[in-house]
Amino acid sequence: LVFTEKQEALVKESWEILKQDIPKYSLHFFSQILEIAPAAKGLFSFLRDSDEVPQNNPKLKAHAVKVFKMTCETAIQLREKGKVVVADTTLQYLGSIHRKSGVIDPHFEVVKEALLRTLKEGLGERYNEEVEGAWSEAYDHLAIAIKTEMKHEE
C-alpha cells in the first residue's frame, strides 16, 4: 500500500482550511466524540467536573489541534518514508497518557469517526471519498503506533 503525493496534498490542504477556525473545529471534533460515545466524557480531566463541553477550554483546543497536526505529520511520513516515525519519546508519552486515562482500543474508531465528521463539516463541498481515504489511512497508522505503545507498557 502506498501513500501518494496526491493524498499527502489532500491532507495538507484540508488541514490548512480547518486551521482557519481552531476554536470552532476543535469544539466540533470534541462534541462529535461525545455524541458517538457519551461515556468517553469521563476520560477527559478537563471535562469531568463540567456539565457541558467547555466552549473555550485551552487544553481541549490544544489537544484537538495536536491530533489533527499529528495525523497530518503522519501523512507526510507515509508518503516520504512509507512508514510512521513518531519520535520514540512522544509515542511513549502518548501511550502512557492514554493508557492511564483509561482509553481502550475501540475508542480509536470513535475518535476517527469524529475526526472525519469534523473534516466533512469544515470542508463542505470539498469533502469527498478521496479526502476521507487519505485522512483515514494516515490516522489508522498513527492509531496503530499509539495502541502498540499502550500494549508495551502493560
- Name the binder of 30 from ligand ISQ, ligand HEM, none, CB < 5-8 A by kind: ligand ISQ
Q: Which of 124, 114, 122 is nearest to 53 (CA)?
A: 114
For ligand HEM, the binding residue among 84, 107, 122, 131 (CB under 6 A) is: 107
Q: How far apart are CA 87 and CA 147, in angstroms?
A: 15
Interactions with ligand ISQ, residue window 55-114 (CB under 6 A) = 60, 63-64, 67, 111
Q: How far apart are CA 103 and CA 39, in angstroms?
A: 11
Give the containing element (helix H, strand E) for 119.
Answer: helix 107-123
* Complex with ligand HEM: residue 11 or 94, whichever CB lies closer: 94
Range in contact with ligand HEM (rule: CB under 6 A) among 9-17, 50-58, 101-109, 120-128: 101-109
Q: Which residue is nearest to ligand HEM (CB)?
A: 45
Q: How far is the CB of 20 from ligand ISQ (least distance, A)?
A: 18
**C-alpha pair distances (Å), 31 with each of 24, 71, 130:** 11, 19, 25
Q: How far is the CB of 125 from ligand HEM (least distance, A)?
A: 27
For ligand HEM, the binding residue among 20, 45, 55, 89 (CB under 6 A) is: 45
* Complex with ligand ISQ: residue 1 or 89, whichever CB lies closer: 89
* Complex with ligand ISQ: residue 72 or 79, whichever CB lies closer: 72
CA 107 from centre of chain: 11
Instruction: Annotate 10-48 with b (16+ C-beta within 10 A) or e (fewer).
Output: bbeebbeebeeeeeebbbbbbebbbebbeebeebbeebe
Contact set with ligand ISQ (CB under 6 A): 29-30, 60, 63-64, 67, 111
